[in-house]
Amino acid sequence: MKKLLSIITSAVCCAGMILGSVSASAETYESLTYEAFDSDSNGTSDSVRITDCDSNATSINIPAAIDGMPVKEIGERAFYQCTSLAEVTIPDSVEKIGMTSFAYCDSLISIAIPDSVKNIDDSAFYVCKNLEDINFLGSVERIGSHAFLHTKWYNDQPDGIIYIGNVLYEYKGEVAEGEHITVKEGTTGISDSAFYGCDLSGITIPNTVKYIGKEAFFNTPKLASVIVPESVESIGEKAFCYCSSLKEITIENPECEIYPGGETICSAIIDGSKAYFGNIYGAENSTVQAYAEENGYSFTAKQSGDPLPGDINNDGKLTALDASKIFSAYKYYYYYKAYNITDIEVERGDISGDGKLTAADASKVFSIYKENYRNNKA
């Protein structure tokens, strides 16, 4: 018991020291508390972050500048539980709205988010239950998980994909069994937790998406295959975690930044160990290959150019293994009227181009393999 009290006392003292250091540099402007910070990491404070507000305030007009410095951020929990706040004006100097910054602002009904805002963090407007009018004046680039959950605006959105500007914010409601989703052209980002727990079986991502957020496809148990296009520059933490049916993922950008650790792409976590039972495709000597090797996952170097018809395993050549896999898939379909491989593999293996796998496809692939084998020996 004494040890527990000692730990608690130490924690309280540390918290007091931390809070003291923050408040020592904090300044006030009307109903707001703020701090200066170094936005370009050159060693000099050049911008302002709003950190707190009078909890009884009903209307706030955030200034574009304080002390000659632009107000660039609304900090974490800055307006948290300001239940009387009915009106707030955000200037076009603000670039980031922090985590839970307006959470539980019960009286807030409408807000305009200016063109300057590029990042909206997790739960920024969480449980603003009367917030019904959100005017997105520009193109937000990144939106955190649950940023608008339990607002009237969110509740009024129809089921299906919710887009905010060019960002795919979230899939609302239940995904129909076996549904394949096509993300609309021009989308630049897939937000954190966008498809968390959804039952989609496949997704088509356009070559305009720049990032896939944290936990974007977390626990999507029916997702069988994914092609991540070359435009994607980063894949966030646990983006494809607990994807138990994911047999293959192709990451086309050889320099894609993949969050380190086996949880970013995994089928399961067993006794603390991450496991992926599928295959990862990407360019040779790429960050994709490095990620696979670091985590002990199966990797196949994807060949450049158009897929080779009949090359079901996508290794750039036709082999007896391709023929065998095509024939096995054909037999399975013959008995069960469903394929036991992904749609992408069906498309690759369909050398005849009739939209299905048959014994003739397997025979044709094997014939080409034998001919190539003879020629190479000669």
Q: What one-character-per-residue DSSP string does 165-185 give?
A: TTEEEEEESPPPTT-EEEPPT
Asked whether the predicted pLDDT for residue 31 surpasses 80, the reply is yes
Q: What is the mean pLDDT of residues 286-298?
A: 96
Between 64 and 13, name the one with better pLDDT.
Answer: 64
Topology of the domain comprising 158-302: 3.80.10
Instruction: Tell me 20's DSSP state.
Output: H
Distance, C-alpha 200 to centroid of its chain: 15
Q: What is the pLDDT of residue 5?
A: 34
Q: Are strands 268-270 and 248-251 parallel, antiparallel or unpaired?
A: unpaired
Asked whether the predicted pLDDT for residue 24 surpasses 90, the reply is no
Q: What is the mean pLDDT of residues 29-43?
A: 92
Segment 241-283, tens digit of pLDDT? 999 999 999 999 999 999 999 999 999 998 889 999 999 999 9
Q: What is the pLDDT of residue 313?
A: 80
- List, as own/partner pairs, every contact residues 313-322 make where C-beta atoms lie below 8 angstroms and the sequence separation is at least 24, other chains included: 313/345, 314/250, 314/281, 314/348, 317/372, 318/365, 318/368, 318/369, 318/372, 319/369, 320/366, 320/369, 322/349, 322/365, 322/369
The neighbour count for residue 184, using CB atoms within 10 Å, is: 11
- List, as own/partner pairs, every contact residues 101-110 make where C-beta atoms lie below 8 angstroms and the sequence separation is at least 24, other chains included: 101/74, 101/75, 101/76, 101/77, 102/74, 102/78, 102/128, 103/77, 103/127, 103/128, 104/80, 104/128, 105/79, 105/81, 105/131, 106/130, 107/58, 107/83, 109/133, 110/134, 110/135
Q: What is the mean pLDDT of residues 62-84?
A: 96
Q: What percent of the chain has pLDDT over 90?
A: 65
Q: What is the pLDDT of residue 377?
A: 66
Sequence-distant (6+) residues with CB within 8 A of 44 are 38
CATH 3.80.10.10 region(s) of the chain? Answer: 23-156, 158-302
Q: What is the pLDDT of residue 4?
A: 34
Distances (CA, A) of 182 to 160, 205, 217, 249, 285: 12, 7, 14, 16, 30
Segment 89-119, tens digit of pLDDT? 999 999 999 999 999 999 999 999 999 999 9
Q: What is the pLDDT of residue 81?
A: 96
Q: Is 131 left (phi over 0), alpha (psi -120 to 50) or beta?
A: beta
Q: What is the mean pLDDT of residues 62-77?
A: 96
Q: What is the pLDDT of residue 23?
A: 35
Binned at pLDDT 50, 70 and 90, residue 306 comes out as low
Binned at pLDDT 50, 70 and 90, residue 14 comes out as very low
Between CA 166 and CA 178 the distance in angstroms is: 26
Between CA 240 and CA 254 the distance in angstroms is: 18
Between 111 and 179, name the one with better pLDDT.
Answer: 111
Q: Give the mean pLDDT of the chain.
A: 88
Instruction: Tell me 270's DSSP state.
Output: E
Q: What is the pLDDT of residue 336?
A: 85
Pick the CATH number of 23-156 from 3.40.190.10, 3.40.33.10, 3.40.50.300, 3.80.10.10: 3.80.10.10
Segment 132-141, tens digit of pLDDT? 999 988 789 9
Asked whether the predicted pLDDT for residue 6 surpasses 60, the reply is no
